[in-house]
């Protein structure tokens, strides 16, 4: 046994558990922990500019890193409360991050000491565990339990709050005999898989729904093989996008009332059986449940028992890790295919592909100011199959999900359920940490971009290169569109005449307010502005060149027309299409249409 400070034991445990990527800000109440990180050297720390930004960096890292857990560190009081939005985003999308906060001394916790707040009680509803450790000897066990909980069942975040005197206290600890606690995940039985498969093959037009649980389980290859053995179309959810490549013949497109494809909705409505794998039946996926459920049999597989029946009662439910369920179903499907007892779904799959070829939205607009659809068309052409996209919320995200293409798991990083503005930039920095050397492209509207714009300096300081596409219409676009039923546009315009911007009437950006190019450059990054659609390709090429040369974030600000309504609605069969539909390959996302040739 070795006598050491509790924070030294904690850092050694983090290293042993493989959690070696931290984001945060030091401060008086957490400095002992920082001294332990410095002394042991096994944890890389990225200094953020805001603690909420640090929490989103840890979140982005976890989403990108395929198994590793990001850490967020901050001092007491407001550092903890700043983490709450990050904890919410991770909790909502079933992502593990570990938040570590400093705290006032134990004897001061009830005396309204400076920056002393009951952060454990505040964070409890948004975590799998939130605790203030009051006894030094409990610190190793608290961290050991934290990793077991984050990895077991439905993944989620944990917050550990450490009073400064607890951090400084010495305990006996032996890292050489430390062992992580076993991770518990439910597994579908063969009998359950047989029941689900029997229900599927009893129908003529089945589909598979691939949720975020498939990505979390690392089960994308198994999902694709299962779909291929069965010959059944797959609908990825927003969190499951990339589990099957967009250009795979069995990818039927996304379903929903916002982030969806016309062909995906039509295929869902034409189906008679739905097998949901690791999905939540989120309301923006289903729309009205009467429409979504009509005439269809549902089987739901989820790792969390209370998710089964949470939104609606399926015809059959299985509590299982999505990967384990896919393995069990795949084994049975192979056996039945070898025996020649699987139905032939090739005609049904061909119908889904036909819809995919025909029901495209138009993107090839040539107007000035630029229509957003054209931006995504050019992004598809500029960025390759290995690109990872990062975004959070707004018309930019909705249109991006409708029109961009994703070709693999963890290539679409999106705070889907919580949708916190400002998440995109810091999360992208975490993604760069989790995917070193890969092309990362963030997508923001101007308001999302402005929320945590200071974190660009983190990318410049630590040389975390990525491209941040900012589609600027100087509007709260999604809120403006949602105000239409109230016949108002109230407090949604961001436009003003910037006194520091030359009043060039020839510039499309005149009167758009914030000069994002100057702000980005002031924070140590590179930035360019594109005002005409024919310049988008050159702009993206220049962004890639600048990123490679300077190894810093590169902002591409695209000046959009002020008002564009993006397709959405309240029901799957009543999505409003505000722009012309594609009439030719030139008008539609060519990367998909080319696959139909």
- A 10 A CB-CB count for 182 gives 8
Whether the link from the prior residue into 369 is cis, omega within 30° of 0, is yes
Q: Kind of pairing, strands 129-132 and 316-319?
A: unpaired
User: If you average pLDDT over residues 266-274, what whole number do you get?
Assistant: 97
Secondary structure in 3-state letters for 187-233: CCCHHHHHHHHHHHHCCCCEEEEECHHHHHCCCHHHHHHHHHHHCCC
User: If you average pLDDT over residues 516-543, what whole number do you get?
Assistant: 96
* CATH code given to domain 190-358: 3.40.50.1220
- If pLDDT is split at 50, 70 and 90, which confidence band does 587 have? low
- If pLDDT is split at 50, 70 and 90, which confidence band does 291 have? very high
Residue 594 pLDDT greater than 50, yes or no:
no
**Lowest-confidence range among 119-133, 352-366, 572-586?**
572-586
Residue 597 pLDDT greater than 70, yes or no:
no
What pLDDT is stored for residue 491 in this prediction?
74
What pLDDT is stored for residue 513 in this prediction?
79
pLDDT in tens, 543-578: 999 999 999 999 999 999 877 888 888 899 999 887
CA-to-CA separations, 425 to 98, 238, 312, 428, 449, in angstroms, rounded: 20, 19, 35, 5, 7
Residue 485 pLDDT greater than 90, yes or no:
no
Pull the structure tokens for residue 286. Answer: 């289903």
What pLDDT is stored for residue 596 in this prediction?
31
**Lowest-confidence range among 100-104, 322-326, 396-400, 521-525?**
396-400
How far, in Å, CA of 314 to CA of 308, rounded? Answer: 7
Residue 493 pLDDT greater than 90, yes or no:
no
Q: Which residue has the higher pLDDT, 513 or 284?
A: 284
How far, in Å, CA of 202 to CA of 343, rounded? Answer: 9
- If pLDDT is split at 50, 70 and 90, which confidence band does 581 have? low
How far, in Å, CA of 554 to CA of 525, rounded? Answer: 6
The class of domain 2-177 in CATH terms is: alpha beta
How far, in Å, CA of 468 to CA of 471, rounded? Answer: 10
**Lowest-confidence range among 121-130, 302-311, 390-399?**
390-399
Residue 116 pLDDT greater than 60, yes or no:
yes
pLDDT in tens, 67-78: 899 999 999 999
What pLDDT is stored for residue 589 in this prediction?
54
Residue 592 pLDDT greater than 50, yes or no:
no
- What is the pTM assigned to this prediction? 0.93
Domain definitions of the chain by residue range: 2-177, 190-358, 372-566
Pull the structure tokens for residue 373. Answer: 């659809």
Question: Which position has the token pair 């070709």?
Answer: 407
User: If you average pLDDT over residues 45-67, what whole number do you get?
Assistant: 95
- If pLDDT is split at 50, 70 and 90, which confidence band does 503 have? low
- Determine contact, residues 211/278, Cβ cutoff 8 Å: yes
How far, in Å, CA of 378 to CA of 245, rounded? Answer: 19
Dihedral sign, Cα of residue 580, residue 584, residue 585, residue 587: negative
Element (H, E) at 544: helix 536-550
What pLDDT is stored for residue 204 in this prediction?
97
User: Does this chain's domain 2-177 share its CATH topology with 190-358?
Assistant: yes
What is the share, in percent, of the chain residues with pLDDT greater than 90?
81
pLDDT in tens, 432-455: 999 999 999 999 999 899 999 999
Alpha-helix runs per DSSP H in 48-172:
51-65, 78-82, 84-92, 119-123, 139-151, 164-168
Q: Which CATH superfamily is domain 372-566 in?
A: Thiamin diphosphate (ThDP)-binding fold, Pyr/PP domains (3.40.50.970)
The terminus-to-terminus CA distance of the chain in angstroms comes to 68
């Amino acid at each position: 046994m070795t006598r050491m400070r509790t924070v030294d034991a904690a850092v050694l445990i983090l290293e042993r558990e493989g959690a070696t990527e931290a984001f945060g800000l030091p401060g008086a109440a957490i400095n002992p922990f920082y001294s332990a990180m410095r002394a042991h050297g096994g944890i890389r720390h990225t200094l953020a500019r805001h603690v909420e930004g640090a929490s989103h960096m840890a979140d982005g890292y976890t989403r990108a890193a395929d198994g590793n857990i990001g850490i967020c560190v901050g001092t007491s009081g407001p550092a903890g409360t700043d983490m709450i939005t990050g904890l919410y985003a991770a909790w909502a999308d079933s992502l593990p991050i570990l938040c570590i906060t400093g705290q006032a001394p134990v004897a001061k916790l009830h005396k309204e000491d400076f920056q002393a707040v009951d952060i454990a009680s505040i964070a409890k509803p948004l975590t799998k565990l939130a605790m203030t450790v009051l006894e030094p000897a409990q610190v190793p066990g608290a961290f050991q339990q934290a990793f077991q909980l984050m990895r077991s069942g439905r993944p989620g975040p944990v917050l550990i709050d450490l009073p400064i005197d607890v951090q400084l206290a010495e305990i006996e600890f032996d890292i050489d005999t430390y062992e992580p606690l076993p991770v518990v995940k439910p597994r579908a039985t063969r009998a359950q898989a047989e029941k689900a498969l029997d229900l599927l093959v009893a129908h003529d037009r089945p589909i598979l729904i691939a949720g975020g649980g498939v990505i979390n389980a690392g089960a994308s290859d198994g999902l694709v093989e299962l779909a291929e053995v069965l010959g059944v179309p797959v609908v990825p959810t927003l969190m499951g996008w990339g589990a099957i490549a967009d250009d795979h013949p069995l990818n039927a497109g996304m379903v929903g009332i916002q982030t969806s494809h016309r062909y995906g909705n039509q295929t869902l409505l034409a189906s008679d059986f739905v097998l949901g794998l690791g999905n939540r039946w989120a309301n923006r996926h289903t729309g009205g449940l009467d429409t979504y459920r009509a005439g269809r049999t549902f089987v739901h597989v989820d790792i969390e028992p209370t998710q089964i029946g949470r939104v609606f009662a399926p015809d059959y439910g299985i509590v299982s890790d999505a990967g384990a369920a896919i393995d069990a179903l795949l084994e049975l499907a192979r056996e039945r295919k070898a025996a020649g007892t699987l139905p032939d779904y090739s005609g049904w799959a061909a119908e889904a592909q036909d819809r995919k070829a025909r029901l495209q939205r138009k993107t090839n607009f040539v107007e000035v100011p630029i229509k957003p659809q054209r931006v995504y068309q050019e992004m598809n052409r500029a960025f390759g199959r290995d690109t990872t996209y990062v975004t959070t919320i707004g018309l930019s995200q909705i249109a991006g999900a409708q029109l961009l293409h994703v070709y693999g798991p963890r290539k679409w990083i999106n705070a889907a359920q919580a949708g916190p503005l400002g998440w995109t930039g810091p999360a992208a920095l975490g993604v760069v940490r989790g995917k070193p050397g890969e092309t990362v492209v963030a997508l923001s509207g101007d308001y999302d971009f402005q929320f945590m714009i200071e974190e660009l300096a983190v990318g410049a300081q630590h040389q975390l290169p990525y491209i941040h596409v900012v589609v600027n219409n100087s509007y709260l676009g999604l809120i403006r569109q949602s105000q239409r039923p109230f016949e108002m546009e109230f407090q949604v315009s961001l436009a003003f005449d910037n006194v520091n911007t030359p009043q060039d009437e020839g510039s499309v950006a005149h009167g758009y307010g914030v000069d994002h190019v100057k702000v980005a450059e002031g924070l140590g990054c590179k930035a360019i502005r594109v005002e005409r659609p024919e310049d988008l390709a050159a702009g993206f090429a220049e962004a890639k060149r600048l990123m490679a040369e300077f190894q810093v974030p590169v902002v591409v600000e695209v000046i959009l027309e002020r008002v564009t309504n993006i397709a959405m609605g309240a029901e799957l069969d009543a999505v409003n299409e505000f722009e012309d539909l594609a009439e030719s390959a030139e008008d539609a996302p060519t990367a998909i249409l080319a696959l139909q040739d």
